[in-house]
Amino acid sequence: MRRALDAAREAVDKALPNPRVGCVILDPAGTVVAVGAHRGAGTPHAEADALARAGDRARGATAVVTLEPCNHTGRTGACSEALIAAGVVRVVYAADDPNPVASGGADRLRAAGVDVEGGLLAGESERLNVAWTHAVRTGRPFVTWKFAATLDGRSAAADGSSQWITGPEARLDVQRLRAACDAILVGTGTVVADDPRLTLRDDENAPLPYAVQPTRVVMGERLVAADARVRDDDAPFLQLVTRDVDAALAALAEHEIRHVWLEGGPRLAGAFLAAGAVDEVVAYVAPTLLGAGATALSGTGIQTLADAVQLDVTDTTHVGPDLRITARPRPLAPTDEDRS
C-alpha cells in the first residue's frame, strides 16, 4: 500500500478535480507485476493504468489500491468492472470513496466473488487527498488562506507599501503551494490596487512549467476591467459577482473546484473566517517589525478573546529567513444543545 501511495504522490502534482490514486498489482506469489496511477481528469484511473501494464499477469492477482475502486462509468469505465474482467481475485484498498456517485465498488467486487479488504492506511490516503475528500464530503471547496506578515502582524507599512515583506525563497515557496490548488481567489480590491497576474511564476517573474495553471477567481461586486492582467490568456479567469462567502463557494463547487488558495486583503480573509470557511492557514512570518500599518486580518466580528479562532499548528518550516506556519482551525467544542 505504501508503494501505491508513493505512486499516486509521484505521478502528478495534482489530479484535481479528481483524487490522486495509486495501484499495485501483485501476482499470486506476491511479486509486483505492475504499478499504475491516476494523472488527472480524462486520463485512465489508477486501476486501469496498472491493469494495462500488467496484461495477462493480472489474472489471479491482487490489486492494492489507495482508494476504493469506483463503481461509476463517466469519462472512463468503472474500475470495479475492469478488475473483475481482468480476473483479479483479491482487492485491498485504503480509504472508502466518499463520492456517492462513484462509491459501491467494494460491494460490486464482493458480489462477483472477489475477496475485498478495506481500511489499510486509510488515514494516509485521506491526507494525500485532503482537499478532494473535504470537497466531496461537504459539497464546498477546501479553502487554504495564505498571508504574509511581519513578526508584529503587519501585512503592509503605514504608507501602504507591502512588496516585499518576505524574501524570495518564501515567494517561490508560495508558487509551489499554489500549484497544488485548482483556484486562486482574491477580492476586487486587490485587483484594483495591485493588478496581479495570479499565475504561477518563478522569482524572475517567468511562468513556471506547470501543466495546468489554477483558475484565477475574483470575488466582489465591482466588475474587473477588460484590460486587467488577471484576464489575460495565461490562465482561466472567473469572476464571482457577490460578497457572500457561501454563495461564492457554491459557485466554485459547480465549476468542480476542489481546493481554493485564498489571497487578497484582510477584509476578504475576515469574511471567510467569519463564515467558518477557512480550512487551513499558511502564514509566512518575516523577522521584521513595523509597528504600524495594515494588519493581516480584519472584519471577523470577533470582539472578545473568548471568541478567538483557535488553531492547531501542523507544521513550522524555515523558508530562507522567514518562517512558514501551517495550521488548521480547531473544531468547536460541542455545546449542551449539540449533546441533547
Comparing CA positions, the residue from 289, 269, 290 lying closest to residue 281 is 269
Q: Is 72 exposed, middle or buried (0-12, 13-18, 19+ CB in 10 A)?
A: middle
Tell me the three cell numbers of residue 293: 500599518
Residue reference for cell 517573474: 205
Q: What is the CA radius of gyration of the chain?
A: 22
Helix axis angle, 79-86 to 46-54, nearest 10°: 20
Q: How far apart are CA 21 and CA 13, in angstroms?
A: 12
Q: How far apart are CA 253 and CA 261, in angstroms?
A: 14
Tell me the three cell numbers of residue 44: 485512465
State the catalytic residues. 47
Helix axis angle, 245-254 to 266-274, nearest 10°: 90
